[in-house]
């Protein structure tokens, strides 16, 4: 899974570990291995994160 905030600005986006090997193979993409903890509300909806 990949989360892209703004498709007109692809400088930064988040991806799950399953996608990282494929991203590492692409020229021009730098992978930051710092994990990001996802948080959910009591209804199970993903809370907003990063910008």
Count of the separate structural domains present in the chain: 1
- 43 inside domain: no
Single pTM value for the model: 0.63
Which domain covers residue 10, as residue numbers? 1-32
In a domain? residue 6: yes
Per residue of the chain (51 residues), what is the pLDDT tens digit? 888 888 898 888 889 899 999 999 999 999 998 888 888 999 999 888 754
Distance CA 39, CA 37 (A): 6
| 8 Å CB contact between 4 and 50 | no
Kindly report the backbone phi and psi dihedral angles of residue 14, in degrees, each rounded to the nearest multiple of 5, phi listed first.
Answer: -110, 145
In a domain, 23, yes or no: yes
Cβ distance 1 to 15 under 8 Å? yes
16 close to 35: Cβ distance less than 8 angstroms:
no
Tokens encoding 48? 């907003």
In a domain, 2, yes or no: yes
């Amino acid at each position: 899974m990949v989360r892209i905030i703004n498709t007109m600005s692809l400088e930064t986006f988040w991806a799950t570990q399953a996608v990282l090997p494929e991203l590492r193979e692409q020229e021009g993409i730098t992978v930051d291995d710092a994990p990001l903890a996802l948080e959910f509300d009591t209804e199970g909806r993903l809370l907003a994160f990063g910008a």
